[in-house]
Amino acid sequence: MSVKTLAGWLDYQQRTHPRSIELGLDRVRETWRRMGAPAPAPIVITVGGTNGKGSTVAFLEAMLAAAGKRTGCYTSPHLLRYNERVRVAGVDADDAALIDAFERIEAIRREIPLTYFEFGTLAALWIFAQNKLDVAVLEVGLGGRLDAVNIVDADVAIVVTVDLDHQDWLGNDVDLIGREKAGIFRKDRPAIIGMRAPPRGLLDEAARIGARIVWADHDFRISPQIDCWRWDSGGESLLLPEPGLAAPCQIDNASAAIMALHCLRDRIGWDARAIAQGVREARVAARLQRLHKDGAAELVVDVGHNPQAARVLAQWLAEHPPRGRNIAVFGALADKDITGITIPLVAHIAHWSLCALAADSPRGLNAAQLRERAAAVNADEYGSVDAALDAACAQATAADRILAFGSFFVAAPALEWARRNGYRTGERV
């Protein structure tokens, strides 16, 4: 191999396997075995689910950091730089570390084909193993049971939510999807379920595996208080600040993260101050991220790309109306339930700017295709996210809000557009 740069390695990985997704653990597990299968950390927490994974990882990372624990986090996809996917002690992996890991994987995999995501997962595990971590937090990619992350036996696993998404791979039934998500659980180890009413398939599969089910509103509970909220499990009770992350669901995500630390308290300690600090300080880009520019409409960027995420977004819009109008910049991939995403939001959006993603992903739709499947009215079509944002900005007043959402392929260019146009991160309310 003559690849020398990170960009070259990523291009090679996308070309070397005929499929971008190939579920199954045999290939990646054998490659990891050949690499010596070092433990990524003495303690591993795996986070799966349809929505809320990235935020839950962010809460865990912030709480553990506040408690003085050296933590590695693996998340996907990235927004602006591939390096975001692998963090050690709050710092993104540098190019040299990623290239070294890719070179090791390539040298040892020989005849084994690996996808882009599998290369990245193995690289993250390798980097973590070299960095003397206290805890590794691993976000599951697609599904659970057959996802590459699942070659690691987690000490605690969380399934945050289960809803319809990636139906081409996981099925059109939440019970089937729940069974796939439950595949990250392990016998006799805590299986944290962040939903109050999870699908039967998730519970049944967790029980079949023999995991120790820890269930929201059964084994741990949250309750609102004046200017704070309370978390309870058994005899433990915490009064906590409002999360720094904005969506209504973030207290649920923080609660599941706290439960994971509670399950591990005999091994890593229990620091109420650090937990409160982590709840308050956790941040993750493009989750209702609010940006401001003097004299211009507020810009809100969100990666919500399925009906469940759209319902949460609609709730937030209802609770936080702008002084003027909401103007949506929306783009999505062909395998998404676009009607299901747009229906909850129609009542809150005054105008839609539909943007093409066909140039950004093989699964991207052009704006005309998007219009055919969206429930949006009062919609214009644009060839790119930048063009849609330019048009939305031109028609908006300072009292309006521009909401850029629907895909990571919308959120990433929206954040770049905001930077170029002088927007800054604003206070969340």
pLDDT computed for residue 170 by the predictor: 53
The pTM is what?
0.94
> Does the residue 95 lie in any domain?
yes
Q: How confident is the model over 93-104, as a mean pLDDT?
A: 97
Indicate whether 427 pLDDT > 70: no
> Does the residue 136 lie in any domain?
yes
Residues 111 and 250 in one domain: yes
pLDDT computed for residue 359 by the predictor: 83
Residues 378 and 277 in one domain: no
pLDDT computed for residue 16 by the predictor: 82
CATH code, domain carrying 191 = 3.40.1190.10
> Does the residue 22 lie in any domain?
yes
> Does the residue 1 lie in any domain?
no
Residue 278: which region, alpha, beta or left (left: phi > 0; alpha: psi -120 to 50)? alpha
Cβ-contact 108, 122 below 8 angstroms: no
- How far apart, in whole angstroms, are the C-alpha atoms of residue 305 and residue 163? 12
pLDDT computed for residue 424 by the predictor: 92
Answer with the residue of higher pLDDT: 165 or 327: 327
Indicate whether 107 pLDDT > 80: yes
Please state which of the ranges 3-12, 158-167, 181-190, 197-206 shows the lowest mean pLDDT.
158-167
pLDDT computed for residue 163 by the predictor: 82
Please state which of the ranges 158-162, 174-178, 213-217 shows the lowest mean pLDDT.
174-178
Indicate whether 167 pLDDT > 80: no
pLDDT computed for residue 369 by the predictor: 87
Residues 255 and 302 in one domain: no
**Coil, strand or helix: which one is 325?**
coil
Q: Final residue of a domain: which of 258, 281, 304?
A: 281
Q: pLDDT tens-digit profile of 239-265?
A: 999 999 988 889 999 999 999 999 999
> Does the residue 156 lie in any domain?
yes
Indicate whether 158 pLDDT > 80: yes
pLDDT computed for residue 78 by the predictor: 94
Residues 160 and 213 in one domain: yes
Residues 123 and 266 in one domain: yes
Distances (CA, A) of 423 to 79, 165, 215, 322, 384: 17, 32, 41, 18, 19
Q: Final residue of a domain: which of 255, 281, 307?
A: 281
Residues 166 and 296 in one domain: no
Residues 346 and 320 in one domain: yes
Q: pLDDT tens-digit profile of 410-421?
A: 999 999 999 999
Q: How confident is the model over 223-251, as a mean pLDDT?
A: 94
> Does the residue 19 lie in any domain?
yes
At residue 164 the predicted structure's pLDDT band, cuts being 50, 70 and 90, is: low
Residues 309 and 207 in one domain: no
Residues 264 and 336 in one domain: no
pLDDT computed for residue 19 by the predictor: 59
> Does the residue 334 lie in any domain?
yes
The share of the chain scoring above pLDDT 90, in percent, equals: 80
The share of the chain scoring above pLDDT 70, in percent, equals: 94
**Which tokens go with 98?**
């990623």
Strands 424-425 and 289-292: antiparallel
Indicate whether 1 pLDDT > 60: no
Please state which of the ranges 3-7, 146-150, 167-171 shows the lowest mean pLDDT.
167-171
Tally of structural domains, the chain: 2
Q: How many CA atoms lie within 13 A of 95 on its CB side?
A: 9
pLDDT computed for residue 192 by the predictor: 98
pLDDT computed for residue 428 by the predictor: 38
> Does the residue 392 lie in any domain?
yes
pLDDT computed for residue 274 by the predictor: 98
Residues 174 and 195 in one domain: yes
Indicate whether 320 pLDDT > 60: yes
At residue 272 the predicted structure's pLDDT band, cuts being 50, 70 and 90, is: very high
Q: What are phi and psi of 131, to 5 degrees?
A: -115, 15
**Long-range pairs, 90-97, Cβ under 8 A, ≥24:** 90/61, 90/65, 93/124, 93/127, 95/5, 95/6, 97/127
Indicate whether 166 pLDDT > 80: no
CATH code, domain carrying 378 = 3.90.190.20
Q: pLDDT tens-digit profile of 378-406?
A: 889 999 999 999 999 999 999 999 999 99
Residues 272 and 341 in one domain: no
Q: 338 is in which domain, residue-wise?
A: 289-425
Residues 266 and 363 in one domain: no
Strands across the sheet containing 424-425: 379-382, 351-355, 326-330, 401-405, 298-301, 289-292, 424-425
Distances (CA, A) of 108 to 103, 116, 281: 9, 16, 40
Answer with the residue of higher pLDDT: 11 or 377: 11
